[in-house]
Amino acid sequence: MIPPQKEIMVSLTGAWRLMMFDSGGLHSLNHSVDGFWRSFFAAVVALPLFLVSSFLHTSELGAEPSNGTGLYLFRYTLGWIAFPLLMAVLVRLLNRTHRYASYIIAINWLAVPQWALVLVVSAFGMVLGDSVGNLMPMLLLVLLLSYDFFITRIVLELTVGKSILVVTIGVLLAVLLDTLILGML
């Protein structure tokens, strides 16, 4: 379901505010059933950022850009499907089913500026070289996890410990998917 252009722009503005740790960004998101399904359009918006970032990482490793492109796209798509399914189970266990749609909506739209940040940091890391460039992915990871923690805590209204648990489970899912894909390369 493709959202109207205005909804895309308002949602991206809300996602940007969330990246600034401004919980008011949630008010810019469409929390309806249609808004839930439309939020998956963020995968289409973020796709060019993902592709350029993947190209940078592939060229940095000295591999041909075409090697594994299909698998990277498969991994990207799988992440957009697997995480919401996993969260559907987790919110039941945490008694937060009433917050599920809003959580997925926020996480989906937040992915767009997150991928933009990944692209910028990747480009700077390549320019700066090994000395500083190797530190940047670690700092980026901490920042991305901070965003996920922030969204999890405010949208699902969880304790710090439960929020950390949800973020950790999400990371473990990503590692599992990455391991499966790398095994196919």
In 3D, which of 29, 69, 63 has the Cα closest to residue 50? 69
| Beta carbons of 11 and 29 less than 8 angstroms apart | yes
Domain range holding 55? Answer: 5-184
pTM, to two decimals: 0.91
pLDDT tens across 2-52, in order? Answer: 999 999 999 999 999 999 999 999 999 999 999 999 999 999 999 999 999
In 3D, which of 18, 4, 10 has the Cα closest to residue 103? 18
Structure tokens at 50: 């993902």
Structural domain total, the chain:
1
